[in-house]
Chain A
Amino acid sequence: MTVVLGILAITVLLVFIIWFVSGPLRHPASAAPTQNSQQRALEAARDAKYAEIRDTELDYRTGKLSEEDFRTLDRQLRAEAVEILRSLDKLR
């Protein structure tokens, strides 16, 4: 009896696994659409650049950067952000 139950349990598990894993192969259309990978990378780069701009601003406000250095750096970072936004626009 125990052996039969064991075989039954394994069979149920096996069938469930095959059904679950093969789902995308049986219904290929159900595969979730994803964004263009280059776009995702650029969006990540944009977010990182925004964080860097904020970091620089905080460095300035906490007295680690002189005003002159901050202005130069901030302008440079914003120019880099602009480049990223331009690249993003080209993709859209």
Chain B
Amino acid sequence: MAVVGRAVLVVALLTTLFGITAALYGARHGRRDWVDAGRRSVYALAVILTVAFALLEVAFIDNDFAFNTVANDSSLTTPLFYRAAAMWGSQEGSLLLWVWLLSLWSSLAVFLTRNRLREVVPYAVSVLLGFGAFFTSLLVFFATPFGTTTPAPTNGVGLDPLLRNPSMMIHPPMLYSGYTFFTIPFAFAVGALITRRVDAEWIQVARRFALASWLFLGVGILLGARWAYSEIGWGGYWGWDAVENAALMPWLISTAFLHSIMIQEKRGMLKIWNASLVLAASTLAILGTFLVRSGILSSIHAFGASTLGIPFVVLIAVMVIGSIYLVVSRRDVLRSEHRLDSLFSREAAFMLNNVLLVGLTFVIFWGTFFPLISEVATGTQSVVGTPWFDRYTVPLALMLVLLSGIGPVIPWRRATLAKARRNFALPLVAAAAMLIASFTVLPISSSVPTVALFCCVAFVFASVGQEFWRGWRARRATSGDSPPRALISMVRRNRRRYGGYIVHVGLAVLFVGVAASSTFSRTQFVNLQKGQSTVVGGYKMTNVRPTAAIVTDPTSTGALLTLGVIMRVTHDGRYVTTLHPVAQYYDDETGGEGPVGSLIGGDSVSTLSLHSSFRRDISAAIDAPDIQSELQGEINHANTLVLDERSEGAVAQTKLSYYLLAAIAGGYVRHPPAAPLKLASSPLVMWLWLGALVVFAGGLIAIWPTAGVSGRVRARYLARVAHELGRA
């Protein structure tokens, strides 16, 4: 199997090399047949890598420990669900996932453009296959997922317990889909610049692919944040970690691109800027991939030090230098067709939005790479933390939220003062009302940035609400539709506009969650004996009783021992919820701790118990007690008892080990030490998740394919334009 896997990867590499050559030859000599052979190479690559992916998946599911990746990232006690996802817990497996997704999305892009952008596609195919060749080469020469050991070990090390979370199945594939999707707008931008075809057709294609990558990467980031929030070891939903930042940067740049490409589409302006943005977004996506894999920056998400750094640096250098060369050498076709008519126009608002988004990206880039920059400058690595990021990102984020409310109410080209006064009245009143409420009704006046954000959010809600109301009223007047039908047809006929507005509202809601939860969360680290209570943010939390379970892990992650506490939560004497935080202990596959000690000698993980509501999240986590040292005497005694029964055989010994572990756990429950707890009360966290869902719903509406202009509408415009033509 391993030999077949290695051979399949070599075939994949040869296919990419052939495809690149065929597509370029076809483009240079006008040979459609060679271009089509290149295009088919993309589909073939997807088939070949699907075979490779399936081979490795089968090895994981079958516990084939002859494969080094399986032995390092799975074990007999790893549940099937996590064995299926364990592949991307390793450097090699995740690289295979990366290039497999790249091949799938590339195939989709090549298929969707089969009858479009005839001159551009051959170069785009070459670039996509170039990425395929790069990553396949890494798998063939640097990090093969099909490496083997003979004789095969009888068991593996097991998947890192921190990765045993249902999100493991979906978060990495979504994040990688986002990263790999970014190569598509990059490839088509390179093709368009080489062939000097930065026209309306390219804009259509680039915008759609950029939106898809924005959507995928956004969902991937959200799933990661949700996972980090539920797992104590990851440090909350956002920790300004290098790898988190690396995913955010291309997302921000593509957000800027999605706005500024509209200026190019409508006014023929900002062509150099747009080409630069789309190329930069993809380069940042590869930079993010590099950060995860090279181990150059310390991150809890990274795979650690590896030999992949230099190939990635070469790839990034080629992308940066090539992009600069293309933009500079094609500046004649990238010249703007118009100038900005007025500083008070939607174009100007979009430009400001771009400046802010790029500024935000620069701040994050600087903070992320500061350890390297400081090492080069001073010889010692310095790290910037959350306060540093907050100092610069909060004002920029505030301005962005405000702009997302201003943009929808001003027209393209030029706004008049009279109209502006009318359109800004309601949003300004809403913001003023929120300001008053902040100092009277809402308990947020202690934080000026939060008050400012809430006012901006009120402004956005009012401006977008006003837009929906007026659009709906106009639609009803012209079509005579029923109210719900008018709303649906209004959105359906203007998906980009109203999808975008929904995204703005979603972001505003998301920021409310972020601001409130990061400013007004209350956290306590406390040791509570059975029956003791403490109050966190007005909520009384009582340690009711300890719990212990062996083998029957309630979260099905394969933990052999689970210790926890039942916590009762009340507010003003009223029952709110019962929480059950647990610490899970995993086995030590090496067996070095003795027959009983090894059952719990591996890593331990604390899982948050969460009560989520629209107003507040109440959570409790138990810091995994170090039972290896606390119960050392009992475990040593149990080990001796099991080893004394050697004559009874391995099965009897294993049974006895579990019985003794149960006895130790029972003793722990009868005489529990004070539970080390992290208790928190965080307001409006659910708004963050709901806001993100609204953002993605808006994105889906905006990306949903329209049937072009409908037949009836097209006929109407054709008639109008024909009338003009007759007069001209």
Taking a contact as CB atoms under 8 Å apart, the answer to whether A62 and B471 are in contact is: yes
Taking a contact as CB atoms under 8 Å apart, the answer to whether A82 and B728 are in contact is: yes
Cross-chain contact of A24 among B37, B44, B197, B471 (Cβ < 8 A): B37
Instruction: Give chain A nearest CB distance to B724 CB in angstroms.
Output: 5
Taking a contact as CB atoms under 8 Å apart, the answer to whether B199 and A41 are in contact is: yes
Interchain residue pairs with CB less than 8 A apart (26): A2-B1, A9-B4, A17-B47, A21-B37, A21-B44, A23-B36, A24-B34, A25-B37, A31-B32, A32-B36, A35-B115, A40-B117, A40-B201, A42-B200, A44-B199, A45-B200, A47-B200, A52-B266, A53-B717, A54-B709, A58-B497, A61-B470, A61-B474, A64-B415, A78-B720, A78-B721
Closest to B467 in A: A62
- A25–B422 Cα distance when bound, in Å, is 64
In chain B, positions 101-123 with a C-beta closer than 8 Å to chain A are 114-119
Q: Which of B72-80, B150-158, B406-414 lies on the face that meets chain A?
A: B406-414
Known: A17-B11, A25-B37. Is A66-B418 also a contact (CB below 8 A)?
A: yes
- A79–B726 Cα distance when bound, in Å, is 11
Among A9, A64, A65, A69, the most chain B Cβ lie within 10 Å of the Cβ of A64
Cβ proximity bits A35-76 to B, threshold 8 Å, 1 near / 0 not? 101001111110110111111101101111110010001010
Instruction: Give chain A nearest CB distance to B488 CB in angstroms.
Output: 16
Known: A13-B8, A34-B115. Is A45-B199 also a contact (CB below 8 A)?
A: yes
Taking a contact as CB atoms under 8 Å apart, the answer to whether A3 and B3 are in contact is: yes
Could you tell me the dominant secondary structure of chain B's interface residues? Answer: helix
Known: A10-B4, A44-B200. Is A65-B411 also a contact (CB below 8 A)?
A: yes
Size bracket of the A interface? 35 or more
Taking a contact as CB atoms under 8 Å apart, the answer to whether B725 and A61 are in contact is: no
Cross-chain contact of B117 among A37, A63, A79 (Cβ < 8 A): A37
Cβ proximity bits A1-19 to B, threshold 8 Å, 1 near / 0 not? 0110010011001100100
Taking a contact as CB atoms under 8 Å apart, the answer to whether A41 and B725 are in contact is: no
- Report A-chain residues with C-beta under 8 Å of the C-beta of B714: 50
Instruction: Give chain B nearest CB distance to A75 CB in angstroms.
Output: 8
- Report A-chain residues with C-beta under 8 Å of the C-beta of B169: none
Taking a contact as CB atoms under 8 Å apart, the answer to whether A31 and B33 are in contact is: yes
- Report B-chain residues with C-beta under 8 Å of the C-beta of A31: 32-33, 36
Question: B651 interface residue, CB < 8 Å from A?
Answer: no
- Report A-chain residues with C-beta under 8 Å of the C-beta of B414: 69
Known: A10-B4, A40-B201, A69-B414. Is A47-B33 also a contact (CB below 8 A)?
A: no
Taking a contact as CB atoms under 8 Å apart, the answer to whether A55 and B32 are in contact is: no
Taking a contact as CB atoms under 8 Å apart, the answer to whether B416 and A24 are in contact is: no
Known: A37-B197, A54-B493, A55-B494. 19 other contacts (CB 8 A): A3-B3, A17-B48, A23-B40, A32-B36, A32-B115, A34-B115, A35-B115, A37-B117, A37-B118, A42-B200, A45-B201, A48-B265, A50-B713, A53-B717, A54-B494, A61-B478, A62-B470, A63-B422, A82-B724
- A3–B4 Cα distance when bound, in Å, is 9
In chain B, positions 417-431 with a C-beta closer than 8 Å to chain A are 418-419, 422-423
Interface positions of B (Cβ within 8 A of A): 1, 3-4, 7-8, 11, 15, 18-19, 22, 32-34, 36-37, 40-41, 43-44, 47-48, 51, 114-119, 197, 199-201, 203-204, 265-266, 409-416, 418-419, 422-423, 467, 470-471, 474, 478, 493-494, 497, 708-709, 713-714, 717, 720-721, 724-725, 728
- Report B-chain residues with C-beta under 8 Å of the C-beta of A35: 115
Could you tell me the dominant secondary structure of chain A's interface residues? Answer: helix
Known: A47-B708, A48-B203, A82-B721. Is A37-B119 also a contact (CB below 8 A)?
A: yes
- Report A-chain residues with C-beta under 8 Å of the C-beta of B40: 20-21, 23-24
Cross-chain contact of B423 among A32, A52, A56, A63 (Cβ < 8 A): A63
Taking a contact as CB atoms under 8 Å apart, the answer to whether A28 and B4 are in contact is: no
Closest to B3 in A: A6
Closest to B18 in A: A21
- A31–B493 Cα distance when bound, in Å, is 36
Cross-chain contact of A10 among B8, B15, B114 (Cβ < 8 A): B8
- A50–B719 Cα distance when bound, in Å, is 12
- Report B-chain residues with C-beta under 8 Å of the C-beta of A61: 470-471, 474, 478
Taking a contact as CB atoms under 8 Å apart, the answer to whether B717 and A50 are in contact is: yes
Instruction: Give chain A nearest CB distance to B6 CB in angstroms.
Output: 10
Taking a contact as CB atoms under 8 Å apart, the answer to whether A58 and B471 are in contact is: yes
- A21–B17 Cα distance when bound, in Å, is 12
- Report B-chain residues with C-beta under 8 Å of the C-beta of A21: 15, 18-19, 22, 37, 40-41, 44
Cross-chain contact of A51 among B8, B709, B725 (Cβ < 8 A): B709
- Report B-chain residues with C-beta under 8 Å of the C-beta of A75: 724
